[in-house]
Structures are given as C-alpha cells and as structure tokens.
Amino acid sequence: MASPPFDRELHVRYFLQNLRSLPEPYAPQDSQRVVLVRWTAEYESEVYDSSNIASTFAALCILRTLGDDLSRVNKAAVIGSLRRLQNKQTGRYQASARLAAASAADFAPVLLSYCCSFSSVSSGSEEDMRFVYCACAISHLLDDWSGVDLVAMVRFINSCLVSCCLEQDPLRLLLPLCLLLEPYRLRVWLQSYDGGIGITAGAESHGGAVFCATASLILSGRIMQLNCDQSELVRWLVLRQHGGFQGRCNKDPDSCYAFWDGATLDLLGKHSLVDVPSCKQFIMSCQFLYGGLCKFPDTVPDVMHSYYSLAWLSIAAHSNSSSAAGAQTSELPKLKALDTKLQVPFFPRPSK
C-alpha cells in the first residue's frame, strides 16, 4: 500500500501554530516551555521556574540553531549546576560495603546509588539516563566537561546493562571490582539478558534509554567503555522494528521510536539494517489531517512525536548507510541533515 504524501507546508503551519499558542492539554508542561519550543515535551518537573537540565539543553540548542555563539551564556554557572545535579552523595566507593551486604531484593537500588546519575532539578526529580544525556549534551555544547564526573557516569551507564538474573548470583559481591576494572572477559556476564539498556539499573530495556546512553558515551568520547557486546545492542534495536519501531519488547510501534531506535543504529553505523520503506510508511500513516504527526495512526498529533518523526526522516535521507539505497532515499522528504547525537539539525555558523 502506498504511503500518504508528505505535506511539508501543512506540517510547517502545525509547528508555527503550536509555537504561538499551545493547546490546553499542554498546560501541565508550563514549566517546560523552553523544551516545548524545541518540540519536545517528555521531561516533567515538580519544581516551577527553577533551573532545569532538560530546559538548559533545549535553550542552548535553540540559541545555536539561531546562529548564536553562546558568548553571552554564563557558562560557569551552567557547568556548576551540572556538578550539583550529579548525585555524588552515595556515588563514591563507600557504597561497595552496602552492596556486599545487600540482599537480592534491594540489590538494584544499591547498585544505582553506587553509580552517579543526574537529576533534572535540584529537588523533587527523578535520576535516570535522560538527564545523563542532557548533562553530556550541555557539556559538549559548552566545550567544558568539568561539571561531569565521567568515570562515575560511565559506571552508571554500565550498571544499566546488568542482568536482572544477577540479583540471585552470589558473584554480585564482585560487582564493585568488575565495574572499576571492567575486564573484557566479564562483558558477557554484565550484559543485559536481552542486549538492551534500561533507564536505570535493573529497569527494562528501553529505546530512549539506549539512545541516551549511546549518545552520552559518543559525546564524551567513551563509547568504547560501554561494557557490552555492541552486536547484541544492535540486535536488540533491529528486533524492535515491526513496520515502525517499538520502544520496548511486545509494545505497539510508536512514531517517536523511529528516532530513538533508528538514531542509535545511525550512531553505531548500522542504519543500513533499518527497513526504511516500512518505517517510512508507518511514519506517513501517522500524519494528521491538519498537520503534525501522531504517536499512532488515527490519533491526534503532538509536538514531540511530530519532531522525532521528522528527525528520523532526516536521518533516513542523509545517513551514509542509507544513501546506497538510492531509490529509497529519493522518495524521502527533503529535510535538513540532522546532528544525530544532539537531535537537532547541524548548527549554522555563529553570527558575529
């Protein structure tokens, strides 16, 4: 069945309308206006009008997209906030004693406290892979990594690979040493049972978490420290495609996961494994009559799913591994090339 045509002008009007005035369902996201401007609405906070790691990342991307050189940004203050948002209270080595005494039931929380994640705001926030990615993206944009404990960050990412079966394994007592030394021969032991990455230690593998972890390690130049067999990670991603892409096993395809899963494959140089025509057909079926793209076909659009659907279409059109397909890419919409690791089009030259 032929895909519906891509109506560029209709989608442009949709985004402009939402930029001027968002519908009532976005009211709970009022504290995330900057993130919404960047066409994402996935991070929530209980704290109103405070510094927010996701909004900071979004604001920097917007400024760079508009050609700003960030010279007026108080970089020292931003980097200082990252330093405070990384959880180091229990992230040092004293947690190893608690880990050794932990029972199977409380193993995962202890492991999480042993590794330093990031929160979104100074209080009342979750700590997980999303905010690790935001911290890395901010550090990359400002070209200053002094606000991130990279050793602890890598340890956290690798903790999210640990199999749930490890909770009953007496060898868990050796985990602190394994996380520090990371010998190659233990990588299979530490590999998640399905090859994916969770949003926190002990969590189910998730497409968004896989992207955030992979992009964080690439941005920080530490992708080789991902303590797993990358072929298993690629396998997990490829198996998520069922026309469109799933975010988790046994879920329906969802338009935004074309980006989260497809972008990760692109970062790993494996986008050629994507069935581009099938994914494109699914994305096109999610177009709304009056502009925008929906999570599923025959539902209503939102800015986040609209943005990430277009982001994947850009990757598919510009990916080196996709370019060999020729006819496939010629049928894709003409969109700006995307800097996949930052989720935005490549920035213009800063204005003087």
Concatenating the DSSP letter of every residue in 61-110 gives: HHHHHTT--STTS-HHHHHHHHHHHB--SS-STTHHHHHHH--STTHHHH
Encode burial over 64-81: b for 16+ CB neighbours within 10 A, e otherwise.
beeebeeeebebeebbeb
pLDDT of residue 249: 92
User: Dihedrals φ, ψ of 198, to 5°?
Assistant: -95, 170
**What is the C-alpha to C-alpha distance for residues 327 and 20, in angstroms, rounded to an integer?**
38
Which H/E stretch holds residue 59? helix 53-65
Distance CA 57, CA 288 (A): 29
Phi (first) and psi of residue 63, to 5 degrees: -60, -45
Query: DSSP letter at 119?
Result: E
Residues 6+ apart with CB under 8 A from 326: none
Task: Quote the tokens at residue 314.
Answer: 């850009």
Name all domains of the chain by residue range, CATH numbers in brackets: 1-22+230-352 (1.50.10.20), 40-228 (1.50.10.20)
Residue 323, φ and ψ in degrees, nearest 5 = -60, -30
The reported pLDDT for the residue numbered 115 is 55
- Cα distance between residue 143 and residue 343, in whole Å: 17
Place of tokens 């932990």: 102
- Predicted pLDDT at 274: 96
Determine the 3-state secondary structure of 294 from DSSP: strand
Question: Which 3 state secondary structure label does DSSP give 129?
Answer: helix
Q: Judge contact between 226 and 187, C-beta under 8 A.
A: no
Q: Which residues of the chain have pLDDT under 50?
A: 39-48, 90-114, 162, 164-173, 181-191, 323-324
pLDDT of residue 175: 52
Q: Which of 321, 318, 197, 299 is nearest to 247 (CA)?
A: 197
* Amino acid (1-letter code) at residue 129: M
Nearest to 201 by CA among 51, 43, 90, 323: 90
Amino acid letter at 190?
L
- Which pair of tokens denotes residue 300? 């209503």
Selection from 235, 154, 244 nearest residue 194 by Cα: 235
* pLDDT tens-digit readout, 160-203: 884 544 444 444 445 555 555 444 444 444 445 788 999 988 78
Comparing CA positions, the residue from 206, 189, 242, 208 lying closest to residue 40 is 208
Q: Phi and psi of 103, rounded to 5°?
A: -85, 170
Give burial (CB, 10 Å; 0-12/13-18/19+) of 283. Answer: buried
Query: Which pLDDT value is given to residue 188?
Result: 41
CA distance 38 to 30: 14
Task: Evaluate the CA torsion angle 321, 310, 217, 318 in order and state its sign.
Answer: positive
Q: Angle CA(289)–CA(292)–CA(295) in degrees, nearest 5?
A: 100
- Whole-number Å distance between alpha carbons of 168 and 10: 55
Residue 12 burial class via C-beta count within 10 angstroms: exposed 0-12, middle 13-18, buried 19 and up:
exposed
